Amino acid sequence: MGVVVPAAGVGRRLGAGGAKALVNLAGRPLLAHAVAAMEANRCVAAVVVAGHPDALEAIARLLASEGFAKVTAVVGGGPTRQASVAAGLRALPPELAYVAVHDAARPLVGPGAVDRMLELLLRAGVAGVVPGMPVADTIRRVDAAQRSTGIVDREQLRAMQTPQLFARQALEEAHRLALRDGVEGTDEAALVELAGHPVQVVPGDPENLKVTTPLDLDVAEAILARRR
């Protein structure tokens, strides 16, 4: 199993003013938290990081200083998350048949999450297994004038997390088709589904939040403090 870590975002909503992956959480960059959690899975043999082209040296220095044992490549990401994942996929060792994609912006994923999900992937006979959280808020549709046009049944909705696991062939085919058709997805599951492969949603982890805004950093600090 290989892991691709898209880490090339600039953290506009966080106000990071540079590579979000290098922003500190409890004294350690987000990327280091995320890679450490990926390495802590027995099934993971290789981790490829796709970083912002301007931050590659700093990222390589960080990964070396952390002493990570499974990071096999650091590559330049692209202008979109999807392009960054595609770049990471190209750098994965060719013999690995399964791929997990995990955002550098999710530093709190627990160790062993990929091991558990790979078991589900192998058992379920699907192309992908992806974690999703039930939606707690009432979801309402609005028109262009912000007039309410009705409620969406939240029982049918899941908010997607990473890591998302796939049979490598299915994910690579999905990326090829997306590139051909000019499709841009916000996660891998969207592309794999579009390529006609079944994807299974499994329960996500409420603590595995995505650091998007400064408030998320505060919440993440609190979760880490409680864990220690």
Binding site residues, ligand CTP, CB under 6 A: 6-14, 20-21, 50, 77-81, 84, 103-105, 210, 212
Structure tokens at 106: 């999710």
Spatial separation of the C-alpha atoms in residues 219 and 228, rounded to whole Å: 14
- Least CB distance from residue 97 to ligand CTP, whole Å? 23
Q: Please identify, using beta-carbon distances, which residue of 9 and 29 lies nearer to Mg ion.
A: 9
In this structure, the number of other CB atoms found within 10 A of the CB of residue 53 comes to 11
Q: Please identify, using beta-carbon distances, which residue of 27 and 79 lies nearer to Mg ion.
A: 79
- Least CB distance from residue 122 to ligand CTP, whole Å? 26
Q: Please identify, using beta-carbon distances, which residue of 75 and 126 lies nearer to ligand CTP.
A: 75
Q: What residue type is assigned to position 117 of the chain?
A: M
- Least CB distance from residue 150 to ligand CTP, whole Å? 29
Contacted entry of Mg ion, ligand CTP, none for residue 125, CB cut-off 5 to 8 Å set by kind: none
Dump the DSSP string for 149-216: EEEE-GGG-EEE-S-EEEEHHHHHHHHHHHHHHT---SSHHHHHHHTT--EEEEE--TT-----SHHH
Spatial separation of the C-alpha atoms in residues 130 and 204, rounded to whole Å: 8
- Least CB distance from residue 181 to ligand CTP, whole Å? 20
Peptide bond into 163 cis (omega under 30): yes
- Least CB distance from residue 17 to Mg ion, whole Å? 15
Contacted entry of ligand CTP, Mg ion, none for residue 212, CB cut-off 5 to 8 Å set by kind: ligand CTP
Residues that bind Mg ion (CB under 5 A): 9
Spatial separation of the C-alpha atoms in residues 28 and 22, rounded to whole Å: 8
Contacted entry of Mg ion, ligand CTP, none for residue 104, CB cut-off 5 to 8 Å set by kind: ligand CTP
What is the DSSP code (8-state) at residue 7?
E
Q: Please identify, using beta-carbon distances, which residue of 6 and 163 lies nearer to ligand CTP.
A: 6
